[in-house]
Every structure is written in C-alpha cells, then in structure tokens.
Amino acid sequence: MTDDLNNQQLESEITDDEQEIILEGEILDDSAEDFIAPDEEFASLRQELADAESKAQEYLDGWQRARAEFANYKKRVDRDQASVRQMAAANIYKNYLEVIDDLERALNNRPEDGEGAAWAPGIELIYRKLLSNMEADGIIVMVTQDQFFDPNVHEAISSEDTDEFESGQIVEVLKKGYLVGDKVLRPALVRVAQ
C-alpha cells in the first residue's frame, strides 16, 4: 500500500513537459537515429500526401473511364437488341408483303355497289391496321412516286420514252418498296422514264 502511495506521489510530481519527453522517448526508443527533424518529417508527410493524391486521381480516372465504357457498352447492347427486334419483325412482315399488295389491288378495284361494296370498308380498315402495326415496328413504305431511280432502293422492270418525265425519273410504281430503318426490306418495283 505504501508503494502505491509512493508511485502516486512520483507521478504527481512529474511535470507536463517531463511527461511529454517520456512519451516521445517511448515512441522513439530514446535513439537519436530514429529522431526526425520537424522539417524533414513535414516534407516526408507532404510527399506521402502528394503520392496518395496522385494515386487517388489515378483511381478516379480509371473508375470514370470504366464507367464511360460501361455506359457505351450498355447503349451498344440496347441498340443491337432494338436492331435484332426490328429485323425479326421485318422478317415476319416480309412474308405478308404480297398479302398487302393483294389488299391494295383489291381496294383500288373495289366495287361501287352490291355485296362487295359492303365489305370494302372493313377490308380497308384491316389494311390500315396492318400498315400501322408495321410502322410501329419500324417498317415504312418507300416514297417513290416522282423520284429519280436509285438502284439501291428501286428495281426497274422497264423503261419508256416519255415527255412528261425527265430521264431517270420513276414513271410508275408497280409494287411498293419497304424500308426497315435505313435498310431495304423490299425494293420498289418501278417503270423508269428514258
């Protein structure tokens, strides 16, 4: 018990400055070699900070680059999926283009009276619905009337001499052409002026 009292008296007699020296001595193990001058320590810490900031910027740049690459990848995948869906729909509708042609011919030659006249509006409604479904899937009818012949999107079956049209201009469209986006689903079948 007396030893505890003596230790307490000794600890209370040590000043704050002496305690700080004792603590520094414990950290530095009282060796002069381990002692770093404050300027050197400050320079060392400053260098460590610069290194850490450089590494943090490098990581940030890498992260931002990876994020941009992922965003581009996601856009590319979305675009490719949309294209695949559009081409799948186009392949399905391609089988029905002849039916659409038949509906157009029937509507162009619809009877004015009788039983056929009663059915014509219903047939026209079906035709318009089919065209609107195609447009919703990205398939559009080519505009060819009064255009000039383009072998990339038109197929000429004949040419004729005429004064009404310029040379190379489309005179008549025999079968409509269809586009899927900017790709030709079916070229327009046309007659061309010479």
pLDDT of 134-192, one tens digit each?
898 888 999 887 789 999 999 999 988 888 888 888 998 999 999 988 889 999 999 99
pLDDT of residue 25: 46
d(C-alpha 155, C-alpha 138), whole Å = 22
* Helix axis angle, 115-136 to 97-108, nearest 10°: 140
Q: How far apart are the first and last CA of the chain?
A: 126
Selection from 31-40, 70-79, 106-115, 169-178 with the highest mean pLDDT: 70-79
Q: Is it the case that residue 12 has pLDDT exceeding 80?
A: no
Mean pLDDT of 119-146: 88
* Percent of the residues in the chain that have a pLDDT greater than 90, as a whole number: 37
Q: Is residue 127 within 8 Å of residue 100, measured between CB atoms?
A: yes
